[in-house]
Structure 1
Amino acid sequence: MTILIADYDPSWPEQAAAASAELVEALPGMFLEVEHVGSTSVPGLAAKPVIDLMTSVNTLDDVTDERVAVLERLGYRFEDVGMPNRLFYFREKAQGERSHHLHIVTADTWPTRNERLFRDHLRAHPEMAAEYEAVKRRLAAETDDGFTYTKSKTEVIQRGVDAERTARGLPLVTVWEEV
């Protein structure tokens, strides 16, 4: 499967806002926070054209069977991605290509989520965003394996997360570690 890195699309924030509003309306009171994360949330950054949303809940047990049924009606399907303390769902376009990722995490981890920290760092540091884009484009040209692509970005992501954690006085952790 080819990994597509698309030039920045100025409609990505609007798509994220619409998907966020849809989730909040369909599941009132469930999500404490909903934010656009991932590369599509960084203005000007090329990305895989998949809208990543991160939401918080009090506990993952708040995602009851009834609420999962609502997510499924909205087109979200659960996938076990091996990340503890997180529920991950995805939605596809009619052609079977992923259009959205939904990460559900607990409110107690919200302020220190690496995805949010890295997004904020890229937004504030265009030189790192440019470096990250170059790495993503190079990797997409070199591999069609999603796992290899993701893991190969770790070094630049780690540097960005470390810099943001240091700036905020947070402890350093590996990017794949849940905090």
Structure 2
Amino acid sequence: MPLDDEQLAAKLVRGLVPGKITLAEYDPAWPERYERRAAELRDVLGDRLRLVEHIGSTSVPGLAAKPIIDIVAGIDDPDDEQAYLPDLEAVGYDVRVREPGHRCLRAGDPDEPVNLHCYAPQDVEVRRYLVFRDRLRASVADRELYEATKRELAQREWRDVNYYAEAKRPVILEIPGRGGWQE
């Protein structure tokens, strides 16, 4: 089913944000930014953090990306916000998406933003993120296909960044299968 404004409004905490996507060439500082944030998450959440991984385009050397570090965190029950959210808010994270089994939070100043995706560690979405990332790291052809798709889509104006993400979905679903992965 195609994404629509009503579906987005139900899960976006701050509503739709129209805009244009700006891609940056790969920056070797992105893994360092991830490592700093991952260390902070380990300190803040301790053993409540079951998994922490750098995902998204900034985790793939050589791939152009929106300069936002994406992190997936394994939290036993993302819907139990009282178990972890106050500690994340205390270090500057702000909830942006609230949906069953998933929270997306934003932190960082405008020059170093971070998206933190909280899922249960065994959630299939976590596996999808990691398989997709690893496939892009391993395959030049898939990396080039994905970057070309992103560059084409970045030419448009979007009612919200989630529509840009949805427009990339067909290639995101295709690439892992090219490496043999099946759910």
Residue among 27, 49, 57 paired with 1:9: 27
Matched, 1:42 2:60: yes
**Which letter does structure 1 place at the counterpart of 2:106?**
F
Aligned to 1:162: 177
Contact 1:13-1:41 within 8 A present in 2 as well: yes
- How many residues get paired? 164
My pick for the range that moved more, 33-42 or 111-120, is: 111-120
Contact 2:119-2:126 within 8 A present in 1 as well: no
**Which letter does structure 2 place at the counterpart of 1:60?**
P
After TM superposition, give the deviation of residue 116 of structure 1 in Å: 1.2
Q: Are the structure 2 counterparts of residues 148 and 80 from structure 1 closer, same or farther at C-alpha, using a change threshold of 3 Å?
A: closer
Alpha-carbon distance in 2 for matches of 1:80, 1:126: 32
Contact 1:90-1:98 within 8 A present in 2 as well: no
Contact 2:23-2:66 within 8 A present in 1 as well: yes
After TM superposition, give the deviation of residue 68 of structure 1 in Å: 1.4
Alpha-carbon RMSD across the aligned residues, in angstroms, is 2.1
Alpha-carbon distance in 2 for matches of 1:112, 1:161: 14
Structure 1 runs (4+) deviating above 4 angstroms are none
Contact 2:131-2:176 within 8 A present in 1 as well: yes
Kindly report which structure 2 residues correspond to 1:86-125, keeping only aligned pairs within 5 A, or say none. 86-93=102-109, 95=110, 99-109=113-123, 113-125=127-139
Aligned-pair identity (%): 34
Contact 1:122-1:129 within 8 A present in 2 as well: yes
- Higher normalized contact order (CA 8 Å, seq sep 6+, divided by chain length): 2
Gaps of 5+ in 1: 172-179
Aligned to 2:13: none
